Amino acid sequence: MDEMADRIHDTVTYARNLCDNIQWSPMDATRTEWDYLARVVEIAIRAGATTINIPDTVGYSVPVESTGLIKRLIAEVPGADEVVFATHCHNDLGMATANSLAAVAGGARQIECTINGLGERAGNTALEEVVMALKVRDDIMPYTIGIDTTKIMHISRRVATVSGFPVQFNKAVVGKNAFAHESGIHQDGMLKNAETFEIMRPGDVGLAGSSLPLGKHSGRAALRDKLNQLGYEIGDNQLRDLFVRFKELADRKKEVYDEDILAIVGVSEDAKHDRLQIVSMKVTCGTGGPAESTVEMDIDGKKISATEQGDGPVDATFKAVRAVLPNKAHLQLYQVHAVTQGTDAQATVSVRLEEDGVIATGQSADTDTVVASAKAYVNALNRLRIRREKAGPGIDSREISYKEVPWFARWAAAICRPFFLPVAGWYKRVAKPGFWNMHFGFCGLRVILFAAPPQVLPDCRHRQSGVLFWPARTIGRCVIMA
């Protein structure tokens, strides 16, 4: 305990010297023994913490415990009444929102939450749930939150698109069925007075009051109006591109609903500028044998095609794409979601790829699930390319073992080590082959010993971010920075 107390004091004090607002969190606080928790919280407060976050790390707590714990900390820990208490809840038992609101009742004034409840395992407290609960029940929870609730639905959809995790239909506040009424008695009550069965209005979270479908005869003005209702403000050029895709979809579907419009918007607007594009594809599948897919792609202006077989049409198509463009990307996620009901419904497909530590997610929508899958896969490959190019060389530089370091670096380390304390960054190869550095800490300064052949570093003086690089005519240069 003494060692832990020293670490808490030292780290919080260090942070307090750098900025004024310091938040400190004791992991798994809700399952921690009271005496231990009270002592470490007191140490953090004395060291300068201004916010104490009490996390329910594994979603174990129940609301009555959340209220009681916050109340007791504020009442019994010295100095606790002068800091802000926060709550951080997980949803393992489905009580994250209830626990967060209970903590507020106990005195917490900060809720840590996520859009759509995304998070580790079963997720975290959903922002939209606590915000609307505080808004709807301000009669018993009269707190100011400062959030424009009409933006909730828009940001929920954006997060779902980017993350690749669609919102479940019966999700509170932002689910597709959150404001749907199917029961006859409910419908009758809604027709007579909406407040009979609605504690909040769709408009409160940014939903349009009605969902009138568009069709093949709808014009640009109607599409722009619909996009505005859905929370999208777009320019003329973007509207032109969206309208082309809308008309293509309207020719295949009798009616285009809000969800279809959102799926169109969710597809990359810059797809026509992608370096990798699908020109055409043909898939054969059935019960007579393995599926076969022929894919023709345009890669930087050059058309290449390949035919592959696989376990189903999607597997065969992905293999054909890999044959056209060989890559080592690992498929982490493949997810299909029907946008609307009916056999002519659009399918939105999310594909997440990982290659050498770089992750990219692609999305696409089409009434043909296999076509949507292929486009989403290629979209993810395009984004992988873009991220690598933006990152530039050296993004995947790896840490190397002591034995891989050249003899002159090991010799320099042996001489310097007795005089300096090693810190993070030990033997790291960066930027260019043959260039290593070793970091040491001494008297509050950091010393970086460069070990490199003379041709690697330029023979010039270069000052960047207060770091001075000496001319590299010899091996082993030291740079000292505060």
pLDDT tens, 432-447?
Answer: 333 344 443 333 333 4
Q: Of 331, 280, 284, 333, give the one whose Cα is nearest residue 309.
A: 284
Q: Where residue 454 falls among pLDDT bands split at 50, 70, 90? A: very low
Q: What local confidence, expressed as pLDDT, does residue 202 receive? A: 84
Residue 308 has pLDDT above 50, yes or no: yes
The more confident residue out of 5 and 266 is 5
Task: Give pLDDT tens digits for 169-186.
Answer: 889 999 888 877 555 665
- Global confidence as pTM: 0.65
The more confident residue out of 395 and 240 is 240
Q: What local confidence, expressed as pLDDT, does residue 206 receive? A: 84
With a CB cutoff of 8 Å and minimum separation 6, the contacts of 248 are none
The more confident residue out of 182 and 135 is 135
* Residues paired with 114 in a beta bridge: 126
The mean pLDDT of the chain is 78
Q: What local confidence, expressed as pLDDT, does residue 246 receive? A: 83
Q: What local confidence, expressed as pLDDT, does residue 436 receive? A: 40
Average pLDDT over residues 205-209: 76
Average pLDDT over residues 324-342: 87
Ramachandran region of residue 303, left (φ > 0), alpha (ψ -120 to 50) or beta? beta
Q: Of 105, 102, 104, 110, give the one whose Cα is nearest residue 23.
A: 110
Q: Where residue 141 falls among pLDDT bands split at 50, 70, 90? A: very high
Q: Where residue 396 falls among pLDDT bands split at 50, 70, 90? A: very low
Helices within 267-406 (DSSP H only): 313-324, 369-391
Q: Where residue 450 falls among pLDDT bands split at 50, 70, 90? A: very low
**Total length of the chain:** 482
Average pLDDT over residues 375-384: 90
- Lowest-confidence region among 12-21, 149-158, 195-204, 402-411: 402-411
Cα–Cα dist 31/44, whole Å:
19
Q: What local confidence, expressed as pLDDT, does residue 421 receive? A: 38
Cα–Cα dist 327/378, whole Å:
12
Q: What local confidence, expressed as pLDDT, does residue 197 receive? A: 66
Q: Where residue 225 falls among pLDDT bands split at 50, 70, 90? A: confident
Q: What local confidence, expressed as pLDDT, does residue 402 receive? A: 41
Task: Give pLDDT tens digits for 67-78.
Answer: 999 999 999 999
Q: What local confidence, expressed as pLDDT, does residue 162 receive? A: 78
Q: What local confidence, expressed as pLDDT, does residue 459 receive? A: 35
Q: What local confidence, expressed as pLDDT, does residue 438 receive? A: 42
The more confident residue out of 450 and 461 is 450
Residue 166 has pLDDT above 50, yes or no: yes
Using CA atoms in the order 16, 17, 21, 27, what is the torsion angle rounded to 10 degrees? Answer: -30
Residue 190 has pLDDT above 90, yes or no: no
- Looking at the chain, the whole-number percentage of residues with pLDDT higher than 90 is 42
